[in-house]
Amino acid sequence: MDDAAALVRARGLTKTYDGPPPYTAVAGINFEVRRGEAFGFLGPNGAGKSTTMRMIGCVSPRSGGELEILGRDAATARKAIKARIGSVPQDDTLDTELTVEENILIYGRYFGLPRALIRERTDRLLEFARLTDKRASRVQELSGGMRRRLTIARSLVNEPDLVLLDEPTTAFRALTDAGAILLVLVTFGAVTPGDAPRALAGAVLTALAFAAPLSAYAVTAERPAQLTAVFRFVIMPLYMFSGTFFPTGQLPGWLQKVVWFSPLWHGTELCRGTGRAAIHLTVLLALTAAGYLAARRAYTRRLTA
Amino acid sequence: MTAAVLIERNLMIYKHTWYVLLAEIFEPILYLLSIGVGIGVLVGTVTDVPGGDPVRYAAYVAPALLATAAMNGAMNETTYLMFGKLKADRTYESMLATPLTERDVALGEIGWAVLRGTLVSLAFLAVITALGLVRSPWALLVVPGAALIAFAFATAGVVVVTLLRDWPDLQYVQLVMLPMFLFATTFYPLSVYPRPVQLVVQALPLYQAIELLRNPALGILTPKIAVAALYLATMGAVCLTIAVRRLARTLSL
């Protein structure tokens, strides 16, 4: 096979980052991948494997050297090259809120393919990935292996000439710090020093009374949007009407009775130092305990499933 | 318009989670009931309406809440949700592996934020009309107004999202948005402030957004509407230019 048939041709391919600190991720490499060939990059972490893949995928521009893919320059024919490539990234980037079928559909749409054509290809791709019976399932319900297979199936929707596979190594983890928020609340609360300990206790108890049942719900919830909905439909109304902004006495009688079930109202009363502290305390503690038990059950079930 | 496929994707996702959009109009309604009606009982009538007749407190607050809803909806979409897609879900990574460009991503997400803002404003307008808080037919101007607000804040949001390093940085966004919501004449007229503070408040984009909606909603036709529209259009255009350039850099590293 001659040079013209090379799918990928790199000469002195370089990638440098300005930093700070500036560093060279790929330092002048040469390689050639021909049609029908399975070509692999091996190397330790940080060797520049992913960077090279990203340059081939026309996602990251090269800093120097030559890079030709499917006979065209990677810098100038980006869109045309990307249309002929199938890419399986290091981490699964599936749309977890969509179904298996929808994931393939929208991905095909990114290539500008007509819906009818995508649907036609979907059957074959699902069969190939052994996901036909999971077609209407949401990605969240899939096992890790199934997700991986779907990612690969999805990458073939444009019937590519070149498939790029990047290994899975990392997982992103979001960190939250509830403690900081609590500190801000206490700092900005217009509370006299003498009242501070009781207000702090009220705030901590309120936080606990909410945190326990909410975390139980969070483990069982299937979509992030459900949590947003709980916030808007449950937490916000509680926030608005639990005597936060105006006395509950201003509410109609039946609503005043409903407010009695609002943990936030009990917390607010505790923090303000109004009402009967013993009752509010008992209600909040009971809620916390019930929430804790529910959370423990939810976690156990989730982890052993 | 290849960018339109992003709107297609969002519609597909919200088909499953439509209640999130419902929740978005629920929030200003809650504020309206709690503060507009609840505190409104204590306040009574707002007499200090420049260029207009005294109005019920709820009618005074409603357009400001709508402006805030359009702002929050757009900002939420292009900061919080977009940061999630950028860092956690890596949605854009998979998009950029296809013929879609960084520019398509920016334009598509902004387009969706504007569409969403317009839908939410239509729904909220229907609610406040049903509550009898709208008197003038000029209130219809509120819909394109809300779209403009969504555009200005959505583009600003994309600029912000390219500056965020990690999740805790989103707190800085809250640090700006919440005080702006509380102090940009949402709940009381500008006249309560001393002159120097008034100048600061008038420079806030949310103040201009509120002027853009409150005046027509109360049937007051004033040049202030044009000034506000110009302010927000300029803000949106400038942010759009920066947003497209910065997002391209963030995504292609």
Structure confidence by residue, pLDDT tens digits, B215-225:
999 888 899 99
- A305 pLDDT band, cuts 50/70/90, is low
Indicate whether this model's pTM tops 0.80: no
Q: Which of B41, B97, B167 lies at the smallest CB-CB distance from A59?
A: B97
Which residues of B fall within a CB distance of 8 Å from A236?
26-27, 30
Question: In which region does residue A159 sit, left (phi positive, over 0), alpha (psi from -120 to 50) or beta (all else)?
Answer: left
Strand partners, A15: A26
Lowest mean pLDDT among A78-92, A268-282, B98-112, B159-173: A268-282
State the Cα–Cα distance between residues B253 and B251, nearest whole angstrom: 6
- The shortest C-alpha distance from B226 to chain A (Å) reads 34
Concatenated DSSP letters of B111-129: HHHHHHHHHHHHHHHHHHH
The partner residue sitting opposite B12, judged by closest CB among A98, A225, A251, is A98
- Bridge partners of residue A33, in order along the sequence: A8
As a whole number of angstroms, the distance between CA A245 and CA B33 comes to 12
Q: CA A120 from chain center: how many Å?
A: 30
* Residues in chain B within 8 Å Cβ distance of A95: 9, 13, 89, 91
Do A232 and B95 lie within an 8 Å CB cutoff? no
Nearest-10 crossing angle of helices A144-155, A100-110? 30
Cα separations in angstroms, A10 against A66, A74, B57: 6, 10, 69
Counting the structural domains of chain B, the total is 1
Cα B66 from chain centroid? 8
Q: Is the ipTM above a cut-off of 0.90?
A: no
Three-class SS of A152-207:
HHHHCCCCCCEEEECCCCCCCCCCCCHHHHHHHHHHHCCCCCCCHHHHHHHHHHHH
d(CA A213, CA A284): 12
Instruction: State the pLDDT confidence band at A168, using cuts at 50, 70 and 90.
Output: very low
pLDDT band per the 50, 70, 90 thresholds, residue A176: very low
Q: Which CATH number fits domain A1-82: 3.40.50.720, 3.20.20.70, 3.40.50.150, 3.40.50.300?
A: 3.40.50.300
Burial class (CB in 10 A: 0-12, 13-18, 19+), A85: buried
For chain A, give every domain's residue range: 1-82, 83-172, 178-304
Asked whether the beta carbons of residue B38 and residue A112 sit closer than 8 angstroms, the reply is: no
Which three-class secondary structure state does DSSP give residue B23? helix
pLDDT 10s digits, B105-156: 999 999 999 998 888 888 888 998 898 888 788 888 899 999 999 999 999 9
Flag if B20 and A176 touch (Cβ within 8 Å): no
Asked if A223 and B17 come within 8 Å (Cβ–Cβ), the reply is yes
Distance (Å, whole) CA B93 – CA A305: 31
Phi-psi region of A19 (alpha: psi -120 to 50; beta: other; left: phi over 0): left
The 8-class DSSP code of residue A36 comes to: T
pLDDT band at residue A45 under the 50/70/90 scheme: low
Question: CA B49, A243, A207: angle at the middle one, nearest 5?
Answer: 120
Residues A56-67 have a mean pLDDT of 92
Closest-CA residue of chain A to B96: A59
Q: Is the dihedral of CA B178, B183, B185, B189 positive or negative?
A: positive
Residues of B with CB under 8 A from a CB of A: 2, 5, 8-9, 12-13, 16-17, 19-20, 23-24, 26-27, 30-31, 33-35, 38-39, 41-42, 87-91, 93-101, 167-168, 251-253
Task: Confirm or reject contact between A18 and chain B (CB < 8 A).
Answer: no
Contacts of B36 in chain A (CB under 8 A): none
- Chain A to chain B Cβ contacts (< 8 Å): 119
Going by C-alpha positions, the residue among A202, A216, A214 that lies closest to residue A264 is A202
Three-class HEC string of A8-26: EEEEEEEEEECCCCCEEEE
Closest CB from B23, B31, B91 relative to A229:
B23
The Cα B220–Cα B48 span in angstroms is 13
Q: Is A240 on the interface with B (CB under 8 A)?
A: yes
For residue A17, what are its two tokens? 């980052």
Average pLDDT, chain B: 90
Average pLDDT, chain A: 79
Contact B94 A177 (CB under 8 A): no
Q: From chain B, pick out residues whose CB is under 8 angstroms from the CB of A93.
A: 89-91, 93-94
* Class of domain A83-172 (CATH, top level): alpha beta
Nearest-angstrom CA–CA distance, B102 and B108: 10
Chain A contact probe: residue of B98, B105, B187 with most A CBs at under 10 A: B98
* CA-to-CA dists, residue A143 to A147, A222, B176, angstroms: 6, 14, 41
Residue owning tokens 């520019």? B103
| Residue B106 Cα, gap to closest chain A Cα (Å) | 14
At residue A23, the pLDDT reads 86
CB B70 within 8 A of CB B150: yes
pLDDT recorded at residue A149: 82
- Among A218-227, B34-43, B181-190, the range scoring the smallest mean pLDDT is A218-227
Whether A1 has a pLDDT exceeding 50, the answer reads no
Residues of A in contact with B98 (CB under 8 A): 82-83, 87, 107, 110-111, 158
Using CA atoms, how far apart are residues A213 and A86, in angstroms rounded to an integer? 44
Quick one: pLDDT band at residue A184, thresholds 50, 70, 90? very low
Handedness of CA A272, A275, A281, A284 (dihedral sign): negative
> Which residues of chain A lie closer than 8 angstroms to B12, CB-CB?
98, 102, 105-106
Per-residue pLDDT of B149-190, as tens digits, reads 999 999 999 999 999 888 888 889 989 999 999 999 999 999
Report d(CA A85, CA A87) in Å as an integer.
Answer: 6
CA distance A212 to A302: 16
B221 min Cα distance to partner chain A (Å): 33
Q: Which of B16, B19, B31 sits opposite A97 (nearest CB)?
A: B16
Q: Which of A86-90, A112-116, B8-12 has the lowest mean pLDDT?
A: A86-90
pLDDT for residue A197 is more than 70:
no
Cβ <8 Å between B33 and A236: no
Alpha carbons A152 and A128: distance in angstroms, whole number: 10
- CA distance to partner chain A, nearest, from residue B250 (Å): 10
Chain B contacts of A114, Cβ < 8 Å?
Answer: none
Alpha carbon distance A14, A47 (integer Å): 13
Residue at token pair 């008197």: B135
Please answer yes or no on whether A240 and B12 come within 8 Å at the CB atom: no
Q: Out of B19, B41, B97, name the one closest to residue A250 (CB).
A: B41
Between residues 67 and 106 of chain A, which touch chain B (CB distance below 8 Å)? 78-80, 82-83, 85, 87, 89, 91, 93-98, 102, 105-106
